[in-house]
Amino acid sequence: MKKELLMASALVSTLGVASVAQAVTATMAGSMKVGAEFESADDLATDNNQVHDQSNFNISLSETTDGGTTISTSFEIVDEGTVSADDDNAIKLTFTDGSALELLNAGNAAGTHAAAVPGAGGEQGVGGTSTNNAPGDLDFAAGSTALGVEWHSAANFLADGLKMSASYSTDNGLAKAAAARLENSWGVGATYVTEAGDTKLTVSGGIADGEIATNGTQATSDKGGFNVGIVAVTGALTIGAGYGDGDTFVNSTTNATNQEIDGSVMKAGISYVTGDLTMALGVSAGEGKDGAFGTADTTDDSVDSTSASVTYAVASGVSAVIGYTTVDAQNDGTASTDDGSSWYIGASMSF
């Protein structure tokens, strides 16, 4: 019996060693957020108070070939009431010169280089039932399909502090339907980092374009535009601003209700760290004109928001946050249920 146990132990040990030897390197990260939100929409009769219980778990995989090329990817499991998996992750090849190539689900280079403007923490927001189509993100005009590639230059490409990317995606092969969809896209983006005295400046931006089709026929509208931004860091103080402009679309099950949107958005923010406290303030102003494909975009939508937060580092990996947001919105030129304000108080634990 003792010999059988020894043989079994040796077999398990051998299999374990073989498994480890053949496995890629995996790293894990994740967080858990729990907090209460107190939301008050101006056009609704009752306030909406709810508890946010959110968790995410991320696994990154990578391995380096004998030739020095690193092959990597990642996936994430997110629980925000219902469990979902984020499988829109590319296979990334990083070469010995520092350049990289992403294959499948690669995204759009214009979005890759959108400025990281400081913003408030917390999970507060004002949700309405209107069909407001004013954009809220700098890269709203940058789109891509799953069949895409994106190339990234090495650092200091052509000039010290410069890094660039270029992307292209093509038809994802979905069945032709009345709902509008992105057929193909391209994008280019760049980020330039320099220093002015004690201040680190990051200037970034990109341009993108793509074709939209309904029932296999190219639509009169498209999806594309540009974004620019700048972020300055001086010690514990970070200030940033960005602007995006372009066209996008909202699809529907019928060709008659697909909408094209001509929009723009401006974002600005500031954050300051003092000891264990991080204070942040952000503003956003989005405008959009929407209408059916092939018609003049005449109806005005807008969303203006101001958010602030204070985050306290309770312990390593543990933070408490209080946040506030106020929103002023217009849908088709009139006040909408997207108006209002919201408070959030909660905590997060990350590893």
pLDDT digits 0-9 by tens, 24-83: 889 999 999 899 988 887 666 567 788 888 888 888 999 999 999 999 998 887 765 554
Q: Is pLDDT at 279 greater than 70 in this prediction? A: yes
Q: Is pLDDT at 187 greater than 90 in this prediction? A: yes
Q: Is pLDDT at 122 greater than 60 in this prediction? A: yes
What is the rounded average pLDDT for all residues in the chain?
84
Q: Which of 201, 192, 117 is nearest to 153 (CA)?
A: 192
Average pLDDT over residues 129-146: 84
Q: Is pLDDT at 13 greater than 50 in this prediction? A: no
pLDDT value for 114: 95
pLDDT value for 311: 96
Say yes or no: domain 28-53+108-145+154-350 is CATH 3.40.50.720: no
In terms of pTM, does the model score above 0.85?
A: no
pLDDT value for 76: 82
Question: Which 3-state string (H, E, C) describes the chain?
Answer: CHHHHHHHHHHHHHHHHHHHHHCCEEEEEEEEEEEEEEEEECCCCCCEEEEEEEEEEEEEEEEECCCCCEEEEEEEEEECCCEEEECCCCEEEECCCCCEEEECCCCCHHHHCCCCCCCCCCCCCCCCCCCCCCCCCCCCCCCCCCCEEEEECCCCCCCCCEEEEEEEECCCCCCCCCCCEEEEEEEEEEEEEEEECCEEEEEEEEEEEEEEEECCEEEEEEEEEEEEEEEEEECCEEEEEEEEEEEEEECCCCHHHCEEEEEEEEEEEEEEEECCEEEEEEEEEEEEEEEECCCCCCEEEEEEEEEEEEEEEEECCEEEEEEEEEEEEEECCEECCCCEEEEEEEEEEEC
pLDDT value for 199: 95
Q: Which of 350, 319, 325 is nearest to 340 (CA)?
A: 325
Q: Grade residue 334 by pLDDT with cuts at 50, 70 and 90.
A: confident
Give the pLDDT confidence of 173-186 residue by residue, as tens digits.
666 777 788 888 99
Average pLDDT over residues 291-316: 85
Q: Is pLDDT at 330 greater than 70 in this prediction? A: yes
211 HSE (CA, 13 A, CB side): 13
pLDDT value for 44: 62
Note every long-range contact of 235-240, with CB atoms under 8 Å and residues 24 or more positions apart, other chains counting: 235/198, 236/272, 236/273, 236/274, 237/270, 237/271, 237/272, 238/118, 238/270, 238/271, 238/272, 239/118, 239/269, 239/270, 240/115, 240/116, 240/117, 240/118, 240/268, 240/269, 240/270
> When comparing pLDDT for 203 and 84, which is higher?
203
pLDDT value for 24: 86
> When comparing pLDDT for 143 and 15, which is higher?
143
CA gap 124, 324 in Å, rounded: 7
Domain boundaries in the chain? Answer: 28-53+108-145+154-350
